[in-house]
Structure 1
Amino acid sequence: MSFKKIIEPLKDNLQQNGITEPNSLQTKIISKIKGGKSLFVIAPENSGKTTSIVISVINKLKEAFEDAPRALIFVKNKEEALNLAEIFSTYKRGTDLRVYCAYDEHNLELQREELYLGTDIVIATPKRLNRIFYLNGINLNKLQMCIVEDAEFLFRNNNFAEVTRTPESISRCQYLVFSDKFDARFERWQETFMHLAEIVKISK
């Protein structure tokens, strides 16, 4: 898939940041993601995984719609959430897409109030997302994309179990897991909500 097939504001923002052609990873996965395929994306550091997430989410959602989020991205901590939100801010210019970060260090009640105002993309740490959800502070019924960025963090501090709770609470959704390596524990997800997912690998 070339960048000719993405929405104009995103294409312009990529060009302004010196990205004119998809790299090898983006060539393999962006069209699959646009088509709704669930994927395990296994690629080394600095291969463009984060940029691929941002491009794919913006290109698929296109514009703001209603109040409930349509994309949920799990990250390991506050720093990663804010960094990813900054990247989205760069590439979503010219669209009205709304991005919200939910992390443990922020006031829980304030997060519930802010989410109630509406957002399209939520970037969240697993434990905080689940606390908000079980307090009825977020509506996941409109979710189209559930993504894990740099999934190695899942296997610390019970994050794997925390993220696994989300598919148990929502209906059909596209799942995208980005990681440096395929961990055997991902097989549990293959047996349940990601049983039709494709594994895409690129080497260094």
Structure 2
Amino acid sequence: MGATFEDFKFNRQLLNAIDDAGYTEPTPIQQKAIPPILNGQDVMGIAQTGTGKTAAYVLPIIMRLKYAQGENPRALIVAPTRELAMQIEENIKAYAKYTDLRVVTLYGGLGPKTQIEQVSKGVDIIVATPGRFMDIYLAGHLVMKQLQVLVLDEADKMMDMGFMPQINRILEVVPRKRQNLLFSATMSDKIHQLSANFLEFPTVIEVTPQATPAQTVEQRVYYVPNVKTKINLLKYLLDNTDEIKKLMLFCKTRTVAEDVYKFLIRKYNEQEVRVLHANKGQNTRINSMNAFKNDEVKILVSTDVAARGIDVNDVSHVINFDVPFVTEDYVHRIGRTGRALQLGEAITFCTPAEEYYLHKIEKLIRQTIPVFDVPVDVFIEQTAFEERQEQAREIDEQKRKEDPEFKGAFHEKKTLNQRKKFDAAKAKANPNSKAAKDRAKKPFRKKR
């Protein structure tokens, strides 16, 4: 018989809420993290999204706080994005439904007035993004003296987003004597450094080898020459894959996301597709997410802003329209599918300029992603001149990263063309010059 939530000696209110949520047995991260957290130890958890890590720290916090008390927060959970903060709040409300614990979420993108009003009514747990937390604290609306537990969730993403200064300021304003919990999907040097500053003799829990995609996700990659062929392949897959019930489609920039979204609207209609990126207003983003969660739309096109912390259980497919430049983001993207032990499929489209990043991803996940041939019915477009130039530039740049001495084929060709133009202009300006006589004698040759 496997472990159950009863083994953790949770009180009846918590066990009833867990039952209502439909969970019967704890996931590996919950089995390993809950006991030390309940004992008051500092914990560092290396776990990707979709492993149940939110419940691994939320359940012990609810058990520790038990009921509403005083006016000031006793637990603070810091998350990198508003989407993740809202997701954590949802989890807390579900697990604390039989208690009177008060939770307030603080994030940017809308005026702070309502959030300040909520805090002033009294709060037990705050979930916050770093910037908005500091804004409200510095404006004098938060007293942190009673804080007992501080959680940094998705710490690696916070490092990537440049939140280190805000994190350091938060550490300055909270009591020294407290329990610290840090969760990250990857174990980078920056995370090591942060954990050294933040945790005291932590219990380190790693539930899967670092940055390994969930075992329930089947991965594949298609090599394509250009963006137009990516669109043709996307159309083919959508027309010929019956199993696509719910799809998240990731793009590297807002512009690409908008273009793909417009293509999909022409193919389907606005009711079936939504787009999510940083240029969209807060309410639009929340509405798009809720519509996707509630099965009102089948396809969500997104940049990496939505790759983390969005807990939608029945995403059948993830398509990486572009290979992510931040290799860890691949793990988070494909972690949107295959959640809660369901099967999922992750498909990646890769151009010649993206192969460099794909190989970095394979190194990170310690797996070779199976390559599939582009189906014969997919029309392979010619690569436009501008796109070919852009790809050549990117490939040169990648080679330069690996070898600073590398000059690059693109660089050499460009120099040659510039010299040709320069000599032609010189000859035209002065027909009696040596350059003009040389050009008349022989075709331009590159000097050895």
Of the three residues 116, 122, 125, the one matched with 1:112 is 116
Q: Is the 8 A contact 1:190 1:196 kept in 2?
A: no
Check 1:23–1:110 CA distance in 2 against 1; reply closer, same or farther (3 A cut): closer
- Equivalent residue letter for 2:107: Y
Of the three residues 97, 102, 107, the one matched with 1:103 is 107
Check if 1:162 corresponds to 2:177.
Answer: no
Give the deviation of 1:3 after TM superposition.
2.1
Q: Is the 8 A contact 2:78 2:152 kept in 1?
A: yes
Q: Deviations over 1:97-138 (max 9, x none)?
A: 001011112322443232121100101010010111112111
CA distance in 1, matches of 2:78, 2:184: 12
Of the three residues 5, 8, 15, the one matched with 1:3 is 5
What is the percent sequence identity of the aligned residues? 28
- Equivalent residue letter for 2:207: I
How many residue pairs match? The answer is: 204
Check if 1:182 corresponds to 2:187.
Answer: yes
Check if 1:53 corresponds to 2:57.
Answer: yes
- Equivalent residue letter for 1:184: D
Of the three residues 195, 198, 202, the one matched with 2:203 is 198
RMSD value, Cα: 1.7
CA distance in 2, matches of 1:89, 1:26: 18
Q: Is the 8 A contact 1:189 1:195 kept in 2?
A: no
- Equivalent residue letter for 2:5: F
Residue 133 of structure 1 aligns with which residue?
137
Q: Deviations over 1:2-23 (max 9, x none)?
A: 5220121110111122212222
Q: Deviations over 1:60-113 (max 9, x none)?
A: 211111010111111122222222211211111110000101111232244323
CA distance in 1, matches of 2:68, 2:98: 12
Q: TM-score, normalised by structure 2?
A: 0.43
CA distance in 1, matches of 2:55, 2:91: 8
Q: Is the 8 A contact 2:116 2:136 kept in 1?
A: yes
Q: Is the 8 A contact 1:98 1:121 kept in 2?
A: yes
Q: Is the 8 A contact 2:74 2:124 kept in 1?
A: yes
Instruction: Indicate the SS of the match to 1:164.
Output: helix
Greater Cα shift, 185-194 or 112-121: 185-194
Instruction: Indicate the SS of the match to 2:197.
Output: coil
Greater Cα shift, 106-115 or 36-45: 106-115
CA distance in 1, matches of 2:57, 2:203: 16
Of the three residues 88, 92, 98, the one matched with 1:88 is 92
Q: TM-score, normalised by structure 1?
A: 0.92
Of the three residues 145, 151, 157, the one matched with 2:155 is 151
Structure 1 unaligned segments of length 5 or more: list them. Answer: none
